[in-house]
Amino acid sequence: MPSLSRGHLIRTGAAAIALTPIAVRAQTDPLHLRVGTGSVEANAQIFYAADMGFFKKNGLDVDVQKLRSGTTTMAAIVGGDLQCGVANVLSLGAAHQRNVPLVMFAPGAYYDSAVPTTMMVVAPDSTVKSAKDLNGQAVGVISVGGLDQLALDAWVDRTGGDLSSVKCIEVPPSAMAETLAQGRIACAVMNDPEMSAAIEAKQVKVLASGYDSIAKLFMQTAWFSTQDWLQKNKDVAKRFSDAIVAGGVWGEKNQEQAAVILAKWTGAKEAHPKIRFATKLDPALIQPVFDSAAKYKLLAGPVNAAEFSWNGK
CATH code for position 297: 3.40.190.10
Q: Do 52 and 138 fall within a single domain?
A: no
- Of 168, 195, 213, which residue sits at a domain end? 213
- Of 188, 213, 238, which residue sits at a domain end? 213
Q: Do 151 and 22 fall within a single domain?
A: no
Residues with Cβ within 8 Å of residue 108, at least 6 apart in sequence: 42, 43, 45, 86, 89, 219, 220, 221, 222, 223, 277, 278
Domain count, the chain: 2
Residue 70 domain-assigned (yes or no): yes
Q: Do 59 and 128 fall within a single domain?
A: no
Q: Do 126 and 273 fall within a single domain?
A: no
Sheet holding 118-122, edge to edge: 167-170, 138-141, 187-191, 118-122, 205-208
Q: Do 125 and 193 fall within a single domain?
A: yes
Q: Are 135 and 167 in contact (CB under 8 A)?
A: no
Q: Are 269 and 41 in contact (CB under 8 A)?
A: no
Q: Do 222 and 106 fall within a single domain?
A: yes
Q: Do 80 and 10 fall within a single domain?
A: yes
Residue 59 domain-assigned (yes or no): yes
- Domain holding 46, by residue range, is 6-112+217-308
Residue 1 domain-assigned (yes or no): no
- Of 194, 213, 232, which residue sits at a domain end? 213
User: 59: burial class by Cβ within 10 Å (0-12, 13-18, 19+)?
Assistant: middle
Long-range contacts, stretch 231-239, CB < 8 angstroms, 24+ apart: 232/22, 233/22, 233/83, 236/22, 236/31, 236/33, 236/60, 237/84, 237/105, 237/106, 237/310, 238/312, 239/31, 239/58, 239/59, 239/60
Residue 32 and residue 147: Cα distance in Å, rounded?
32
3-state secondary structure of 213: helix
Strands 187-191 and 217-219: unpaired
Q: Do 29 and 155 fall within a single domain?
A: no
Q: Do 240 and 163 fall within a single domain?
A: no
Q: Do 155 and 207 fall within a single domain?
A: yes
pTM: 0.87
Residue 152 domain-assigned (yes or no): yes
Total number of residues shown for the chain: 313
Residue 39 domain-assigned (yes or no): yes
Residue 313 domain-assigned (yes or no): no
Residue 165 and residue 182: Cα distance in Å, rounded?
21
Q: Do 157 and 281 fall within a single domain?
A: no
Q: Do 304 and 236 fall within a single domain?
A: yes
Per-residue pLDDT of the chain (313 residues; tens, 9 = 90+): 444 554 555 444 443 333 334 444 444 578 999 999 998 889 999 999 999 999 999 999 999 999 988 889 999 999 999 999 999 999 999 999 999 999 999 999 999 999 998 999 999 999 999 999 999 999 999 889 999 999 999 999 999 999 999 999 999 888 999 999 999 999 999 988 888 889 999 999 999 999 999 999 999 999 999 999 999 999 999 999 999 999 999 999 999 999 999 999 988 777 788 899 999 999 999 999 999 999 999 999 999 999 999 988 8
